[in-house]
Structures are given as structure tokens and as C-alpha cells.
Amino acid sequence: MPATASFVRLPRENLRDLTDAANGDDPQGLADYLAATGTSVVEFEEDGDIFSVLIPVLADDYDIDLETSENSIVADLADATDALVIILTKEDQSKYMDQLDPEGFSAKELQDAYEDFTDEDEKGAGQAMLAGISALYQALQEVDADHVVIVTVS
């Protein structure tokens, strides 16, 4: 079953509550909290599993490290859930907005990066990674000083 990637804009002041929501008894606690307090900002139709390759490829090959924002909260969420969670902040927007412009990437180069990273020849992976970059680019446009975007893949 394909993984789902969601992009939810959340007030920065609600970040600490994410960990409480994820640590509760309900395995859907984090998703329910995000649905109740945030706003979905990107529809991603591809298999969300592509982000497990895309995020490290962006960091290693393009010097775009989206996993270091809000480290303590991300670490707490990783301990509490099986989902991949990334928090996009104003700082990320300032650093990476221009670099993440999808016009600067090609599906072919991303296909090659996918194959180098996984040692697998997955048809359409480059196009899926390009869709992921487009989604991240769109999500970064929704960030401001008072709001972050929470990317979850589960």
C-alpha cells in the first residue's frame, strides 16, 4: 500500500503540542491533531515513500537539508510515531526557496540520483521525485514567521 504524504500549515505556537498528540494512546493522534489545528496546503498524489529517498538525495546531492529544523521536536516525533516528519520553517524558506524551484531540476537527473541512492531501477522515480520537489516548493511558500508546514509521510 502506498504511503501518504500530507502537508499541513500549523501555527508555530502549536509545535510543542505535536509531541503530546503523537505520544497519546491513539495511533491517529498526530494526524487528528494536525487535521483539527492545521490547514492542508498541498495535495500530493504520488506514493509518499518517494520522500524517504528524496530528502536524503536533496541533502547529499544538492545541499538542501530539510531535516534539521526544529530538531528536538522532530526527534520526539520520530520516537513517538513510525511516520517520517519534516517541519518546514521560515529559516528553511529563506535558505532553500530558490534552490527548490522545480524548474532547476530534471526528471532524468532525479532518476539517476534515485538509482544511485537505492541501486534500483524504478521506472518513474525521477518524475515522482520531481513531483515531491514541487510539493516541497509549494509548501515552503505557505511558511511565514508565525506558521510552519508539517510534512508527514505514513
H or E element that contains 128: helix 125-140
Q: In the prediction, which pLDDT does 68 show?
A: 77
Q: What are phi and psi of 41, to 5 degrees?
A: -120, -10
pLDDT digits (tens, 9 = 90+) for 75-90: 777 777 777 889 999 9
Q: In the prediction, which pLDDT does 70 show?
A: 65
pLDDT digits (tens, 9 = 90+) for 115-139: 999 999 999 999 999 999 999 999 9
Grid cell of 98 as nine digits: 530558490
Q: In the prediction, which pLDDT does 1 show?
A: 67
pTM assigned to the model: 0.92
Q: How far apart are CA 142 and CA 114, in angstroms?
A: 27
Grid cell of 7 as nine digits: 502537508
Q: In the prediction, which pLDDT does 77 show?
A: 76
Q: Using 70 as the pLDDT threshold, list the residues of the chain that sit under it.
A: 1, 69-71
